[in-house]
Amino acid sequence: MNRNTWIRQLHRWLSIAFTLAVIANIAAMGMDEPVVWIGLLALVPLIPLLATGLYLFILPHAAKRRDVAG
Ligand code: HEM
């Protein structure tokens, strides 16, 4: 599997983890005493999501740049 493919796969799986964390957050809102760590839970997948997402965003631009140069 080349690097672009596994970064795309990673982004896809992180998006599922992020979605679950958001659902946990919504569920926690209904609790009498909301727990702080559930609030931070979504940040764990969101940070690598941003990094892998920006990488995927740059890919076509980087490819175009190489075309022009080459
Ligand atoms: C945090 C900032 C994020 C950035 C910068 C970002 C950026 C991107 C980019 C550039 C792509 C590739 C689009 C293409 O095919 O041309 C992509 C795909 C995707 N993104 Fe994100 N994304 C972010 C967050 C998220 C979040 C929060 C979710 C969902 C919870 C998500 C779910 C997905 C999915 C499912 C794909 C398709 C992946 C595949 O090919 O299977 N992303 N994202």
pLDDT for res 13: 98
Conformational region of residue 38, where left means phi above 0, alpha means psi within -120 to 50, and beta covers everything else: alpha
Q: Ligand 1: distance of its center to the CA of 10 in Å?
A: 10
The DSSP-derived string for 2-48 is: -HHHHHHHHHHHHHHHHHHHHHHHHHHHTSSS--HHHHHHTHHHHHH
User: Domain limits of the chain?
Assistant: 3-69
- For the chain, 70 residues long, give each residue's pLDDT as a single digit of tens: 899 999 999 999 999 999 999 999 999 999 898 889 999 999 999 999 999 999 999 999 999 988 875 5
Distance 31 CA to ligand 1 centre (A): 31
| Nearest partner of 12 among 39, 43, 42, 48, judged by Cα | 48
pLDDT at 69: 59
**What pLDDT shows up at residue 1?**
85
> Six-digit token pair at 56?
């995927």
Q: Ligand 1 within 6 A of 19 CB?
A: yes
